[in-house]
Amino acid sequence: MEIVQAGDPVLRKVARPMSVDEIRSVSTQHLIEQMRDTMRAAPGVGLAAPQIGESIQLAVIEDRSDYIKDISSEQLSARQRSPVDFHVIINPKIYIAGETTVDFFEGCLSVAGFAALVRRGASVRVECLNERAEPITITAQGWYARILQHEIDHLNGTLYIDRMRTRSFTTMENVNLFWKSRTIEQVREDLGIDS
């Protein structure tokens, strides 16, 4: 499947909710499989239906262990990042838990090749349906909470560039070249961004 890029109007629409019958349909189950395969091939940790041109409230998420094997234990700890099994969220409602926020570099498969610091809630609760149209509640912290916020933003017509610290906007190449080994505090200081 082709991942649409920033500028495509579908990325700026609020996606429509899905009915139980629609969720359980063969076509939706097939779409979920295709989205999973597309996300893995990209590779990415999440993919929302608007990113493949479908304006529906559906996203797939997975943070595989092979994605984090080359990240230092210090960076994993700072990001509160650990593997997340593949799962589907449909018609989600998100609640930020507490007032703690965290800045980290974020990229997007629909803004290919770029990244920026984005401030997100450190903990969230998500109430949604799974791929069988069963109600589930997800509580998440750290990187997993960030992924959920990012993907649910897509379902509401929002991209990370709407929330980014504009002075930090950079190419992925430069993230790896200049910022990857620095703490977020050092990055903010170097770029003149307030905490």
User: Strand pairing partners for 6?
Assistant: none
- Note whether 64 and 85 are within 8 A (CB): no
Strands 101-107 and 46-48: unpaired
Label residues 104-135 b or e (16+ Cβ within 10 Å = b): bbbbbbbbeebbbbbebbbbbebebbebebee
Catalytic residue among 131, 151, 173, 185: 151
Rounded to 5 degrees, φ, ψ at 164 are -70, 160
Is position 151 annotated as part of the catalytic site? yes
Active site residues: 151
